[in-house]
Amino acid sequence: MVLDPQARALLERAAQAKYPPVHTVAPETARRMYREMCRALQPRAPEVAAVSELCFPGPGGSVALRLYRPWVPQGAPDAPLPVVVFFHGGGFTIGDLETHDVPCRTLANFARCAVLAVDYRLAPEHKFPAAFEDSVAAVRWTAAHAGELGLDPERIAVAGDSAGGNLAAATALAMRGERPRIALQVLLYPGLDMRGASQSHIDFAKGYLLEREDILWFMGNYLEAGESALDWRASPMLAQNHRDLPPAYIFTAGFDPLRDEGLAYADRLTADGVRVTYECFEA
């Protein structure tokens, strides 16, 4: 494989910013750095039809939400919208509603669905399973309040990138068998096995923005000492079975240390009879 020139240019721009490695700074400093990097590297935020700031009473206190409504064609029926409940990435430690504002806006317009972004609790202030509990509660709250929000409770998807993909997958597992049923899980370069032992963790340990030492730092922030990594709520790959889960779209990147986890999860879901669309962008 050869790294795409645009991806290489992105890595060079990130390197020119001369930020210290994430794992060498305090969590609050890492959050500031990440917000600044996202502002510098992301395109201009696209317009959407409406944005609403919401909150709900989560397991550990109030959880902020941001609801994006897409532009829809003129003359389209005023029917309840399908909704994607979106969990941002950032190793369970960094990231927020602002860092993923552009992706959520883009997703809403292109998919012509509502997107509900969840500002779940972050580690290390809030250890596992805080982020997982907030994520499950957010989807249940969305289903319960869909009518008043103009959303369709029968068309709720979960989605997330990196650590957010982990939360989406774990939420789909936790809500298996509940009604209304989650319609789809969208896992974007997800981290799914906290043991971090796949070959891509070794092959791409350094030089591709997310580095091995950063991953270990994120894991240490999120997990308590002991066997948390073996808990399926932290490592969806390790669930006893994956039968009867919603259909999945899994997206991975060729030079990402998390790549092999996404492929292994796609294979695991397929083996248990779940319909999966898997794409790896090699370059």
The token pair at 195 is 């043991």
Q: 108-155, pLDDT tens digit by residue? A: 999 999 999 999 999 999 999 999 999 999 999 999 999 999 999 999
1 or 269: which leads in pLDDT = 269
- Dihedral of CA atoms 43, 10, 38, 69 in degrees, nearest 10, equals 40
- Quick check: 170 and 132 in contact, CB under 8 A? yes
Q: 0.95 exceeded by the pTM?
A: yes
134 or 283: which leads in pLDDT = 134
Question: Cβ of 70: how many Cβ atoms within 10 Å?
Answer: 19
Domain 5-281 has CATH 3.40.50.1820: yes
Q: 75-98, pLDDT tens digit by residue? A: 666 789 999 999 999 999 999 999
Average pLDDT for 234-255: 98
